[in-house]
Structure 1
Amino acid sequence: MDNSADLSTLEWSTPRPAAFTLAAGGLILLVAAVLTASDPVGVVLMGFAALLLLGFAGYALWIRPRLAATTDDPQPAITVRTLSGTHTYPRDRIDRIRLIDFRRIGRRTGQLEFDVLRDDAPSTAPADGLREDTRLVVFSRWDLGADLGDVADDLRRAGFVVEDQRK
């Protein structure tokens, strides 16, 4: 058995079973909307909910991998995939990576935030240290399909500096 894998690229995305579950839920709602055709308001609401679930499932399956870290180049880089395309940021174009958590509706939720420099931004920070030429990219556990602490540890091992601001 060959266990040699390419460890130069780490990838994270929404788990496929979760996306398929969303699609199944959307199809069930579509069938329910057809079966309740005598209730026009119900048909509209269930049809709209079904389309939202199917759209979200399609998004989760289309945008893969959501985040990738490449370590085989002379300089580590992250690649972020969005609807508008794939964006690659070498380590010197990443201003800050933060792991944060906060309370939302009675429970703690986490986020992994990347402040990346825009293409036309200079690499050096202004004298006051405050940058206004960055782009914020935020990931949740749903986006990456993994524990955010584990993702942060993998990014650190890949050569990135990750601030842990969890409480």
Structure 2
Amino acid sequence: MTRTWSTPATVVLLGWLAAASLAIATLVADDNAGRLLIGLATLLVAYLAAFASLARPRLSADANGLVVRGFASRTQLPWHEVKVKLQTTRRLGREQQTLELDADDRLVVLTRLDLGADPEEVAGVLHALRP
């Protein structure tokens, strides 16, 4: 059984709508400095929306291991190479959990936005899938 996690489609759609709105704002801006700043914000939001669109599903897991997708790559991590850890940090008075996949030569950190689910729940599913 393969399980997958990715950024929710509604969030990706909102990102593309924000990029389109910023592009229109760039065109109607009447000063060059404002046009430059809004144009840079447009590029950043469009990049983030493109990443969320192309890196779907962000994480896949089955009996053989994990697959983590990036912009143009797929990284396959066999179960024997990866440690699944749940990391809790406190920022701005709030606790935030991330899922850490620690392999031999890389560390992948996934947030709630990357997974579209609570990292603690995903960690539980991954531990249950691990042979």
Q: Shorter chain as normaliser: what TM range? A: over 0.9
For residues 49-128 of structure 1, the aligned pairs below 5 Å read 49-71=41-63, 76-94=64-82, 96-117=83-104
Greater Cα radius of gyration, structure 1 or 2: 1
Scaled by the length of structure 2, the TM-score of the pair is 0.93
> Following the alignment from structure 1 to structure 2, what is the Cα–Cα distance between the partners of residues 14 and 49?
21
Query: Are residues 1:18 and 2:6 paired?
Result: no
Aligned partner (choices 141, 144, 147) of residue 115 of structure 2? 144
| Counterpart in the other structure of 2:126 | 155
Unaligned runs of 5+ in 1: 1-7, 118-133, 161-167
Q: Which amino acid aligns with 2:47?
A: G
Count of residues in correspondence between the two structures: 131
* Percent identity over paired residues: 34
SS in 2 for 1:20: helix
Moved over 4 A (4+): none
Unaligned runs of 5+ in 2: none
Given that residues 97 and 120 in structure 2 are in contact (C-alpha distance below 8 angstroms), is that contact kept between their aligned partners in structure 1?
A: no
Q: Which amino acid aligns with 2:35?
A: V
Scaled by the length of structure 1, the TM-score of the pair is 0.74
SS in 2 for 1:138: strand
Given that residues 66 and 77 in structure 2 are in contact (C-alpha distance below 8 angstroms), is that contact kept between their aligned partners in structure 1?
A: yes
Please give the root-mean-square deviation of Cα atoms over the aligned residues, in Å: 1.3
Q: Which amino acid aligns with 2:46?
A: L
Query: Are residues 1:44 and 2:36 paired?
Result: yes
Q: Which has the higher helix share?
A: 2
> Following the alignment from structure 2 to structure 1, what is the Cα–Cα distance between the partners of residues 23 and 72?
29
